[in-house]
Amino acid sequence: MREIHVQKITAAVAELCRKANYFLGEDVVGALQKGLQEEVSPAGRDVFRQLLENARIAREEEVPLCQDTGSAVLFVDLGQEVLLTGGDFNEAINEGVRQGYRQSFLRSSIVSDPLERVNTGDNTPAIVQLRIVPGEKIKLTLAPKGGGSENMSAVRMLTPAQGAEGLVDFVVETVTRAGASPCPPVVVGVGLGGNFEMVALLAKKALLRPLGEPHPKAVYARLEREILEKINKSGIGPQGFGGRITALAVHLETAPCHIASLPAAVNINCHAARHAQIVL
């Protein structure tokens, strides 16, 4: 067993909060530059220029890319040969979020009760997706998720007969109905298979893939392309001002499912597709 003190997790999470919210990934910057070249609408091109300028300011001045610094969604791959010492693992993560959001001047966007709606003041609790994996390391991936795009996301239990066609229609319908609200150009995470709760997680995980990297299976890579093309024919464009580029990428993740079911989920991310990773 390898011993890891939970304080190390706290420090790592705090640093991930800063990095993810200040520094837009090179893959996303590249997609925005490509978008600027390919967009034909003048208003849309202006949006791409603003977003690239915004990413530069955030990086150079170390300020958040967006005021909505999100829910702290943390994916933890915990090696089964790790022995966690020195305290409560979950509290160590929340302490990391608390420190990270305070020290880096990130917005507290979490209310403690869905109806009473009192802000917790430190962006805790984190939303933790824990997986036990072989090995003696811990991989932490933080994906701060904004509320505007999350609100436009959807799960639908399709029937097997609806198949790929049903999936394409559902995704395109969900993204076009969202219009300008989720801050297009968006990144679209699609889950297919699993069950009701798992398919939403698949869609969220799909957002972690480097932007534009296709699904390894050809049939799904083709579906990703087909969905992206259809979304980009909607005309919604950057910020909904009209244009060619409504989505930067569509990423699909799949899992085995029940003979009766074809669960599908769409998790929309704004253009600020933020995530940061560290391995302990």
Partner 1 sequence: MRAPLTDSDVEKMHAGDTVLISGVIYTARDAAHQRLVELLDKGHALPVDLKGQILYYVGPAPAKPGQAIGSAGPTTSGRMDPYTPALLQYGVKALIGKGSRSPEVRRALQNFKGIYLAATGGAGALLAKKILAAEIVAYPELGPEAIRRLVVKDFPATVINDIYGKDLYEEGRKSYAKY
Amino acid at 52: L
Q: Which is nearer to partner 1, 78 or 270 (CB)?
A: 270
Q: Is residue 180 within the footprint of partner 1 (CB under 8 A)?
A: yes
Q: Is the N-terminal amide bond of 125 cis, ω within 30° of 0?
A: yes
Q: Report in angstroms how near the CB of residue 119 gets to partner 1 at its nearest.
A: 5
Angstrom distance (rounded) from CA 23 to CA 59: 5
DSSP letter (8 states) at residue 111: B
Strand-pairing partners, residue 253, are 191
- For 185, phi and psi rounded to 5 degrees? -75, 130
Q: Report in angstroms how near the CB of residue 184 gets to partner 1 at its nearest.
A: 9
Q: Would you mind telling me the total number of residues written for the chain in this entry?
A: 280
Q: Is residue 183 within the footprint of partner 1 (CB under 8 A)?
A: yes
Q: Is residue 268 within the footprint of partner 1 (CB under 8 A)?
A: no
Amino acid at 83: L
CA distances from 88 to 11, 17, 215, 265 (A): 14, 20, 37, 33
Site string for partner 1, 116-135 (x = CB under 8 A): -x-x-x--------------
138-145 and 276-279 as β-strands: parallel, antiparallel, unpaired? antiparallel
Site string for partner 1, 42-81 (x = CB under 8 A): -x--xx--xx-xx--xx--x-xxxxxxx------------
The interface region with partner 1, picked from 203-211, 219-227, 239-247, 252-260 by CB under 8 A, is 239-247
Site string for partner 1, 77-116 (x = CB under 8 A): ----------------------------xxxxx-------
Q: Which is nearer to partner 1, 105 or 196 (CB)?
A: 105
Angstrom distance (rounded) from CA 50 to CA 31: 14
Q: Report in angstroms how near the CB of residue 122 gets to partner 1 at its nearest.
A: 11
Angstrom distance (rounded) from CA 236 to CA 244: 7
**Look-up: residue for tokens 């993560």?**
93
Which DSSP helix (H) or strand (E) runs through 262?
strand 262-269
Q: Is residue 196 within the footprint of partner 1 (CB under 8 A)?
A: no
Q: Is residue 241 within the footprint of partner 1 (CB under 8 A)?
A: yes
Binding site for partner 1 (CB under 8 A): 40-41, 43, 46-47, 50-51, 53-54, 57-58, 61, 63-69, 105-109, 117, 119, 121, 147-148, 151, 179-183, 233-237, 239-244, 270-272
